[in-house]
Homo-oligomer: A and B are copies of this chain.
C-alpha cells in the first residue's frame, strides 16, 4: 500500500514516523503483521469515545504543529499490568506462582511446614487457600520470592510459566493478555512513546516475560522492588541474592514514587484499572499539556469477568475499584474503557 491510497483517517505523518522508529539495528523488513498494525491502529477496538481519545492524544502529542506536541524523549506511557494488560481473576498470576512453589520451598525448608499458612497451601484445599488472609499470603510471597540468586529466580519463573495454565481458559498465563491493550502498546511505540509497565507485582517477576509478552524491555518494568544482596560464591564469583527486604511497594501512592525513582519523568499517558492506579493517574493528569488517563473496567462476564464498578465487587483480594474512583474518573474526564462495548475481541487466541 502506498501513502497515496491510505484509508481515510490515517495520519500520514504518524505512519512515516512509525516507520522511522523501527528498531534502528534491525535488518528485517516490515513483517505483514507489523504493517497491518501500523496502518490500522487499534484494530480490535470498536469505534467510540475511548478509542477516539487514544487516537486524539497520539495525534496531538506527535504533530509538530500542535500546541500539545511532546518531544520524543518525554513520550512516556505507563501501564498497570494485572487487570489492565492481562487477566487478574481469579487470582494474580504471581500469587499463583508463589502458591505453586510452596511444596518445593517447604521441602527445602521443612520448618515452614509447621506454619498455618504453609500447611493450608500444602493441603491442596483450594477453598481454604482462597480464604488465606493478606498477611498469610505475604508470608508465602516472601518465602517463595526471596532467598535465592536472581538467576535461579528467573529460571524458576520461566519453568512455571511454561507449564502453568489459567484455570478458566486452560492456557498459559502469558496468553491472557488483552489484544486491544497490546495494540495500544504498539500504537504508542509506533509513535515514539516509551512504554513502561508500572505494576504492584514484583519487578523481577514481570521482567522475566515482559519483552516476550509485551515487547517491553526489562529496564522498562517498574514493579514492587525487593532488595538484593551482593556476595561471592565459593569460587569467588560475585552474585546477587534476592533479599526479603522491601524497597518500594509499587502500589497506590507508591506508583508515582516508583515512576520518579525508575523513570524520572512524569508520564504523558497512564493506564490502570483499580484504586491501586489512582495516584498514578492523578500524577499523570497533574502535568502540563496533553495527558491521557485511562481506566479499564471489567464489565464483560461472558468474555472475561464483571467486577469493579460494574458489579460493586472488589477487583481482587488485593485490589478494588471503588465508586469514589469511578466518580473521580468522571469528574476529571478520564477515559473509561468498557471491555464489553469498546473491545471487539479480548484475546489474540479468540
Contacts and interface: CB of A to CB of B under 8 A. Distances in A.
Interface of A: 17, 20-21, 23-25, 72-73, 150, 192, 203-204, 207, 211, 217-219, 221, 225, 227-230, 237-240, 247-248, 253-254, 256-257, 260-265, 279, 282-283, 286
B218 A264 contact: yes
B23 A225 contact: no
22 contacts: A17-B24, A21-B24, A21-B25, A24-B192, A25-B72, A150-B260, A203-B261, A203-B264, A221-B264, A228-B257, A229-B253, A230-B253, A230-B256, A230-B257, A230-B283, A237-B286, A238-B256, A240-B256, A240-B260, A247-B247, A247-B261, A262-B262
B25 A192 contact: yes
Given A24-B21, A25-B17, A219 B262 contact: yes
A243 to B, nearest CB: 9
A211 B254 CA distance: 26
B286 A228 contact: no
A217 B73 contact: yes
Assembly stoichiometry (copies)? 2
Given A25-B72, A253-B230, A256-B240, A264 B207 contact: yes
B261 A225 contact: yes
Contacts of A248: 227, 247
Contact of A238 (B72, B261, B282): B282
A265 B154 CA distance: 12
Contacts of A238: 256, 279, 282-283, 286
Q: Tell which of A239, A260, A283 has the most Cβ of chain B within 10 Å.
A: A260
Given A17-B25, A20-B25, A265 B225 contact: no
Contacts of A225: 261
Given A238-B283, A240-B256, A257-B230, A219 B264 contact: yes
Contacts of A247: 247-248, 261
B265 A240 contact: no
A45 to B, nearest CB: 25
A85 B283 CA distance: 34
| 9 nearest A-B pairs in the assembled complex, by CB-CB distance | A218-B264, A230-B253, A25-B72, A238-B282, A20-B24, A228-B257, A21-B24, A230-B256, A219-B263
Q: Tell which of A150, A239, A254, A262 has the most Cβ of chain B within 10 Å.
A: A262
Contacts of A192: 24-25
Contacts of A221: 264
Given A24-B192, A247-B261, 14 more contacts: A17-B25, A20-B24, A20-B25, A25-B72, A25-B192, A203-B264, A219-B219, A219-B262, A219-B263, A228-B257, A228-B261, A229-B257, A230-B279, A237-B286
A197 B84 CA distance: 32
B72 A227 contact: no
A62 B218 CA distance: 21
A131 B254 CA distance: 39
A265 to B, nearest CB: 6
A340 to B, nearest CB: 31
Contacts of A219: 219, 262-265
B265 A218 contact: yes
Nearest to A210: B264
